[in-house]
Structure 1
């Protein structure tokens, strides 16, 4: 009986992904454990292994398709002696959101994959055949006089962008539905506001005003679709900013002793080891969390989770967003080990090659923009972590020393953003004091 190959869940939080590349083609024989595809999640690109053996009967989702839901059927595997004629419609067809069409090979335009029959799952089931794109969904609008406008979500979105009035179009799709080609061949006209006074997407979200040509003419900007990472970052940080009651604490820290210690460490280290200021800050943050365990905590609906180890998430800028690989149990690792791990994680993060377990499970985050000359800033908390430290640039400043003299010192401003459900102001201040002590007297990290 034909076997359905479904979109795998590559992390506990994954809901959809991009089928980046097929490494097999229809008719290929595959073995268990063979790499058959590459899947892009919001954070990484991962390889998918075959579980069953057989011949590829049909690839249902073309390479490059975005927004494929977890457990959607993406291909059909035929067992020995079976033919393509035995394939039927799957119980769970692939789900591809509107506007997420795969790129056409050899060109920059998007094309919709053809409708293909699909097989049943092993447990049986069935359903009507449908296209692998959201043209199959219907967005219904009112025409003047009470008549209805039937249009696919993709057609509706293109019409909004081009300023086309759907009421003036005649659909060429099934039952007169307006589909993509109808709006692409239509001439732009006066844009009509959607119900409620503002243009909306197919999923009910109000479109940003940049899409309103009363503000910006359509030919004055280039609209780049959001990739999975941008969508996830936007969603998670919006939720964090709106739902997590947070407050900032900031402090200035003198770096002169740390910089001298770093230079001495690097001079004594093997040639392939080079400790950075960030490596030292990771270690100091981890030790401060162990000193102040009330701050190494996360809020949950069932209670406060107090973590046994300091797992430090480090923000790394990548194309299309950022990712936070984790240095696990950083309090027990030496500087050379932290440095080596961080270089490897940062490199693979930029290549989107991290595994989910390498960027999930942090208990505290560090975001360092000092290398860009930023003096101070406050970061948004990375849930479910309870705190995030924003690190500014070290710069020469005039300070008053213990003798009352004005001297030049290298000073760094840091801001600690705290989840007030977990950490109070006093606890956050105690953590900052511990962190400051380790940074200003780095030999204390050896005790």
Structure 2
């Protein structure tokens, strides 16, 4: 899939440049910040809930708030999540794509690095940027330039089974805050016949290695292409995962597992990683649980994606598109969007929508620790190579240091393809 996407990106880039050059004289609207905003724009969104009617009403309200300020016709088009990369790239190359579209952290740097996104900084002087959660803005920047504005965040952390906590003789009001404290609980859980944690080794690195790497104070790769996964902090994260597996704190199938729902639902597990979108299933399990802040070693950190809106650089109406992004991500519209979708707003002032919701209010406090993943054009393509090395280590075929070094070589090999 990644090879197919990379080929498509290269092909589309050539077509994109030709299309962009041919359309320069056809742009509507004025220059950034000159106030000449008119014409029309097309906005591509996705189905964020299962209620299409409710989403249409929400978008109608958001568009109406935009039209109060600008005489611009806005066409909202909902496209499916499936094959969204190919659809966006193909449309942009043909110069009939949207003026605004939704992107996630592993897409943005790929597009930005190829010059396919409009830099937004010239439009943001009058925008309240201080209200955005700092970690939400991490995913919108590439090479110190802003290419998107965030509308939602997530924050993954540990959900603990209260019955298991009591069974190991601990207090649900005093949850582990550090690796050492969690390890102490994990030993007690193992001694009492419980697993300490769900580890989905067959899933994304965002939910397995990376949070421990960030907590150790590490980094995978910098935006200047410096590979850091095998430094001291990186090796420490590999060692922590290997230790959990060797000691039986995580299930035997953790090397390749995609989920441990049955073990959690059966009351056999102390903790499981979850987020706001996990709440429904966790509550359906009937188990009494408590949510802990993200763990800390050298740093307190976790994973949490960020959803943003971006403008392609060959938009026919960049000024109107940039102004739409500012409006759709203001506090009022973030409240509308996230009240319906139940994601966490990327603006601090909009988090008041969860004041009367115990769990989401708590999770919204943790977005300050949420890293959006590896912000790099190869962020997605390096995952399989890293995952393979972690799995090899857990299978006992490599030491943590050897696995970290091999992961670093795999990343360098991907860099060499660029």
TM-score of the two chains, using structure 2 as the length reference: 0.21
For CA contacts below 8 A with separation 6 or more, give which structure has more relative contact order: 2
The structure in which a higher percent of residues are strand is 1
The structure in which a higher percent of residues are helix is 2
Query: Max radius of gyration: which structure?
Result: 1
